[in-house]
Chains A and B, each alone.
Chain A
Amino acid sequence: ETGVTQSPTHLIKTRGQQVTLRCSSQSGHNTVSWYQQALGQGPQFIFQYYREEENGRGNFPPRFSGLQFPNYSSELNVNALELDDSALYLCASSLEGGNQPQHFGDGTRLSIL
């Protein structure tokens, strides 16, 4: 069984640029959630995708957007990068239905200069 995989592992960008992060969900998982983890903090929920539709969103501005593809993989896009966007971005996948645990990838470390 293949777990959640994310790419790239590390990324360096400058302010104002745009970035796309990618996530492949665990086999059979149709729900993908994205989280931002600042240094020394717990992860914060960005949004969730289910059946290729956004299915819940945290307190993040519209410049954070995403997609889910028919194979359940997902992308996180961030426009007009700011210094505070520097963080570990985590993707988690889960099965459909309540109470299902979310399984995380190793994340993408994004640094903004």
Chain B
Amino acid sequence: GNSVTQMEGPVTLSEEAFLTINCTYTATGYPSLFWYVQYPGEGLQLLLKATKADDKGSNKGFEATYRKETTSFHLEKGSVQVSDSAVYFCALLSYGGSQGNLIFGKGTKLSVKP
């Protein structure tokens, strides 16, 4: 079945460091891929998405490229800020129902120190 695997955290970085959070997926066909972010005590916010191979999603300095050949969608940011501290979830859209449902990884907690 469809699944998402992302690197385990927690990840602790200093401000302005480079961030990579790895995400790989298993799916039939070519699902849409997403990164969501969850701040403490809140729900999930859509960070970025990509709907087909070689698409690059980007938002707020974060980027991720849909790599079909490696079934990956790694999240990157060139210079993290303290305000980026949160839990990041990689997800794919599975079409079990006609509208699709999301399958999430377990999440990676990022802490950025000043």
Interface residues of A (CB under 8 A from B): 4, 6, 31, 33, 35, 40-45, 48, 50, 55-58, 90, 92, 94, 96-107
A9 to chain B: closest residue by CB = B41
Complex-state Cα separation, A108 to B95, whole angstroms:
26
Interface stretch, picked from B13-21, B75-83, B96-104, is B96-104
Chain B residues whose C-beta falls within 8 Å of the C-beta of A56 in the assembled complex? 96-101
Is the beta-carbon distance between A31 and B99 smaller than 8 angstroms? yes
Is the beta-carbon distance between A42 and B46 smaller than 8 angstroms? no
Interface size (B, Cβ < 8 Å)?
28
Q: Mark B30-46, 1 if CB is under 8 A from A, else 0.
A: 00101010000111111
Q: Please list the 10 inter-chain residue pairs (A to B) with the smallest Cβ-Cβ separation, ordered nearest first.
A: A56-B97, A42-B104, A104-B43, A106-B43, A104-B44, A45-B101, A55-B97, A31-B99, A99-B32, A42-B106
Interface residues of B (CB under 8 A from A): 4, 32, 34, 36, 41-46, 49, 51, 89, 91, 93, 95-107
Complex-state Cα separation, A4 to B44, whole angstroms:
11
Identify A50's interface contact among B42, B91, B95, B99, CB under 8 A.
B99
B94 to chain A: closest residue by CB = A45
Q: Assuming the A-B contacts A41-B106, A99-B51, A106-B43, are A55 and B98 also in contact, with contact meaning beta carbons closer than 8 angstroms in the complex?
A: yes
In the assembled complex, 30 residue pairs joining A and B whose CB atoms fall closer than 8 Å, in A order, are A6-B43, A40-B107, A42-B89, A42-B104, A43-B89, A43-B102, A45-B103, A48-B101, A50-B97, A50-B98, A55-B97, A55-B98, A56-B99, A56-B100, A90-B44, A92-B102, A96-B99, A97-B99, A98-B93, A98-B95, A98-B100, A99-B51, A100-B99, A101-B34, A101-B49, A103-B46, A104-B36, A104-B43, A105-B43, A106-B41
